[in-house]
Amino acid sequence: MVGMDNNMFRKLGNIFRYMKLEKEKSKNKKIDISLNIDTKIPKDINNIEIELKKIFVDSFDFILRKITIGDDFKREVIITYIDGMINEEIINNDVLERFLEFDYNKDNDEWTREEDIIQFIKKEIITASDIREVKDFKKTIESILSGDTLMYVNGADSALVISARDWKERSISEPVTESVIRGPREGFVENLKTNTAMLRRKIKNPKLKFETLTLGVETDTDICICYIKGIADENIISDLKYRLSCIKSDSILESGYIEQFIEDAPFSPFQTIGVSERPDKVAGKLLEGRIAIICDGTPFVLTLPYLFVETLQSSEDYYSRILYASFNRMLRFISFIITTMLPALYIALINFHTKVIPVRLLLSIMDSHEGIPFDPFWEAIFMSLLFELLREAGIRMPQPIGQAISIVGALVIGESVVAAGLASEIMIIIIALTAITSFIVPALSESLPFIRIILMIGANILGFMGIVIMLAIIMLHLSSLRSFGVPYLSPFSPFRKERIEDTLIRAPLWSMFKSSKLSSWKYSNNYSDDKNYIEKED
Amino acid sequence: MRTILYKVILTLIIISILLGTTGCWDNVTLIEKAIVLGIGLDKIDDDTIEVTLQIINPVSLSSQGNSSGSTNTNNVWVHSTQGDTLFDTIRKQLQTVNRKPYYSHLQLIVIGEELARSGIGEFLDFFERDQELRLAPNVVIAKDTTAKKILSAKSDLENIPAMHLMEILLNDKSDFHIYNVRLFDIITSLNFPKKNPTIGKIEIKEEVSELKIANIDVKGAGIFLEDKLIGWIDDDSVEGLNYILGKVQNGLIIVKDPLNEEELVTIEQKRSDTKIGLNIEGDQFKYSINIKAQGTIGGQQGEDDLTNQKNSKMLEKKVEDSINKKVQNIVDLAQNEYKSDIFGFGEKLYKEYPDYWKNVESNWEDEFSNALVEINVDFKIINSGLIDSANEIE
Chain A residues touching B104 at Cβ < 8 A: 354-355
DSSP letters, B28-63, are --GGGEEEEEEEEEEE-SSS-EEEEEEEE-HHHHSH
Chain B residues touching A2 at Cβ < 8 A: none
Q: How far is B21 from chain A (nearest CA, A)?
A: 8
What integer pLDDT is reported at residue A394 of this predicted model? 80
Return the H-helix or E-strand segment holding A474.
Answer: helix A464-480
Same domain? A148 vs A221 = no
Same domain? A478 vs A431 = yes
Which residue type, as a one-letter code, is found at position A220? D
Which of B199, B233, B267 is a domain's end point? B233
Chain A residues touching B27 at Cβ < 8 A: 351-352, 460-461, 463
Same domain? A78 vs A198 = no
Same domain? B158 vs B262 = no
Same domain? A197 vs A272 = yes
Which of B185, B202, B233 is a domain's end point? B233
Q: Is residue B4 part of a domain?
A: no
Under 8 Å CB-to-CB from A456, ≥6 apart: which residues?
A: A343, A344, A347, A377, A380, A381
SS3 A181: coil
Same domain? B218 vs B338 = no
Which 8-state DSSP code applies to residue A184? Answer: -
Closest Cα in chain A to B134: A355
Same domain? B72 vs B172 = yes
Closest Cα in chain B to A5: B10
Q: Measured in whole angstroms, how far is the alpha carbon of residue A145 from the centre of its chain?
A: 24
Same domain? B55 vs B187 = yes
Nearest Cα neighbor of B202 from B138, B247, B262, B266 is: B138
Q: Is residue B242 part of a domain?
A: no
The values of phi and psi at residue A325, to 5°, are -65, -45
Domain count for chain B, please give it: 2
A369 close contact with B: CB closer than 8 A: yes
Tell me if B27 and A457 make a contact (CB, 8 A cut-off): no
Q: What is the pLDDT of residues A183-202, one digit of tens each?
A: 899 999 998 989 999 999 99
Q: In angstroms, rounded to a whole number, what is the distance separating the alpha carbons of residues B274 and A240?
A: 75
Q: How many CB atoms lie within 10 A of CB B212?
A: 14
Tell me if A13 and B6 make a contact (CB, 8 A cut-off): yes
Under 8 Å CB-to-CB from A124, ≥6 apart: which residues?
A: A102, A107, A110
Same domain? B102 vs B215 = yes
Full residue range of the structural domain in which residue B146 is found: 30-233
Same domain? A444 vs A340 = yes
Q: How many CB atoms lie within 10 A of CB A265?
A: 15
Q: At what angle do helices A255-262 and A234-245 cross, to 10 degrees?
A: 100
Nearest to B58 among A359, A367, A463 (CB): A367
Same domain? B216 vs B255 = no
Q: Which of A14, A359, A453 to mutate to test the interface with B (most CBs of B within 10 A)?
A: A359
Same domain? A301 vs A276 = yes
Q: Is residue B12 part of a domain?
A: no
Burial of A181 (0-12, 13-18, 19+ CB in 10 A): exposed
A450 close contact with B: CB closer than 8 A: no
Same domain? B214 vs B277 = no
We report the CATH number of the domain holding residue B331 as 3.30.300.210
Q: Is residue B6 part of a domain?
A: no
Can you tell me the ipTM of this complex? 0.78
Which of A306, A330, A347 is a domain's end point? A306
Q: Are residues B41 and B123 in contact, defined by beta-carbon separation less than 8 angstroms?
A: yes
Which of A262, A279, A306 is a domain's end point? A306
Q: How many CA atoms lie within 13 A of A355 on its CB side?
A: 14
Q: Is residue A534 part of a domain?
A: no
Q: Measured in whole angstroms, how far is the alpha carbon of residue A523 from the centre of its chain?
A: 29
Full residue range of the structural domain in which residue A346 is found: 321-487
Q: Is residue B287 part of a domain?
A: yes
Same domain? B216 vs B289 = no
Which 8-state DSSP code applies to residue B72? Answer: -
Q: Is residue A171 part of a domain?
A: no
Q: Is residue B261 part of a domain?
A: yes
Q: How many CB atoms lie within 10 A of CB A228?
A: 22
Q: Is residue A376 part of a domain?
A: yes
pLDDT in 10s for each residue of chain A, 538 residues:
444 556 766 777 788 788 878 777 776 655 555 556 667 788 888 888 888 888 888 888 888 888 887 777 777 888 898 888 888 888 888 888 888 887 777 666 666 666 677 887 888 788 877 888 888 888 888 888 888 888 888 877 888 888 888 888 888 888 888 888 888 999 999 989 899 999 999 999 898 999 999 888 888 888 999 999 888 888 899 999 999 998 888 889 999 999 999 998 888 999 999 999 999 999 999 988 899 999 998 999 999 889 998 998 888 888 989 899 999 999 999 999 999 999 999 999 988 888 888 888 888 888 888 888 888 999 999 889 988 888 888 888 887 777 777 777 777 777 888 888 888 889 989 998 999 999 888 888 888 999 999 999 999 888 888 898 899 899 999 988 988 888 898 888 888 777 777 888 888 887 775 544 444 444 433 333 344 444 433 3
Q: How far is A355 from chain B (nearest CA, A)?
A: 5
Q: Measured in whole angstroms, how far is the alpha carbon of residue A378 from the centre of its chain?
A: 36
Tell me if A359 and B105 make a contact (CB, 8 A cut-off): yes
Q: Is residue A280 part of a domain?
A: yes
Q: Are residues A466 and A348 in contact, defined by beta-carbon separation less than 8 angstroms?
A: yes
Tell me if B29 and A457 make a contact (CB, 8 A cut-off): no
Q: Are residues B35 and B55 in contact, defined by beta-carbon separation less than 8 angstroms?
A: yes
Q: Are residues B124 and B135 in contact, defined by beta-carbon separation less than 8 angstroms?
A: no
What are the C-alpha distances in Å from B17 to residues A378, B13, B240, B250?
Answer: 16, 6, 63, 59
Q: In angstroms, rounded to a whole number, what is the distance separating the alpha carbons of residues A180 and A325?
A: 13
Torsion of CA A383, A384, A386, A388, to 10 degrees: 170
Q: Which residues of B have a CB under 8 Å from any CB of A?
A: 2, 5-6, 9, 15, 18-19, 21-23, 26-31, 33, 35, 37, 56, 58-59, 61-63, 102, 104-105, 107, 134, 159-160, 163
Q: How many CB atoms lie within 10 A of CB A429?
A: 13
A2 close contact with B: CB closer than 8 A: no
Q: Are residues B16 and A336 in contact, defined by beta-carbon separation less than 8 angstroms?
A: no
Q: Is residue B238 part of a domain?
A: no
Nearest to B62 among A350, A362, A370 (CB): A370
How many Å from the N-terminal Cα to the C-terminal Cα in chain A?
81
Nearest to B61 among A359, A366, A377 (CB): A366
Same domain? A399 vs A340 = yes
> Which residues of chain B register pLDDT less than 50?
23-24, 63-72
Q: Is residue B178 part of a domain?
A: yes
What integer pLDDT is reported at residue A517 of this predicted model? 45
Check whether the bond before A494 is cis (ω within 30° of 0): yes
Q: Are residues B249 and B294 in contact, defined by beta-carbon separation less than 8 angstroms?
A: no
Q: Is residue A178 part of a domain?
A: no
Domain count for chain A, please give it: 3
Q: What is the pTM of this model?
A: 0.79
Q: How far is A442 from chain B (nearest CA, A)?
A: 29
Q: How many CB atoms lie within 10 A of CB A400?
A: 7
Same domain? A400 vs A479 = yes
Q: Is residue A130 part of a domain?
A: yes
Q: Is residue A253 part of a domain?
A: yes
Q: Measured in whole angstroms, how far is the alpha carbon of residue B108 from the centre of its chain?
A: 9
Same domain? B72 vs B213 = yes
Helix H, strand E, coil C: the string for A211-260 is: EEEEECCCCCEEEEEEEEECCECHHHHHHHHHHHHCCCCCCCCCHHHHHH
Which of A140, A162, A184 is a domain's end point? A162
The values of phi and psi at residue B190, to 5°, are -75, -25
Under 8 Å CB-to-CB from A168, ≥6 apart: which residues?
A: A84
Same domain? B79 vs B166 = yes
Q: In angstroms, rounded to a whole number, what is the distance separating the alpha carbons of residues A389 and A395?
A: 10
Q: What is the pLDDT of residues B193-252, one digit of tens each?
A: 888 899 999 999 888 888 888 888 888 899 998 889 999 998 888 888 988 988 877 888
Same domain? B300 vs B372 = yes
Same domain? A351 vs A258 = no
Same domain? B82 vs B147 = yes
Q: Are residues A259 and A273 in contact, defined by beta-carbon separation less than 8 angstroms?
A: yes
Same domain? A154 vs A223 = no
Same domain? A266 vs A353 = no
Q: How far is B128 from chain A (nearest CA, A)?
A: 16
Q: In angstroms, rounded to a whole number, what is the distance separating the alpha carbons of residues B78 and A446?
A: 52
Same domain? A467 vs A332 = yes
Which of B233, B264, B295 is a domain's end point? B233
Q: Is residue A158 part of a domain?
A: yes
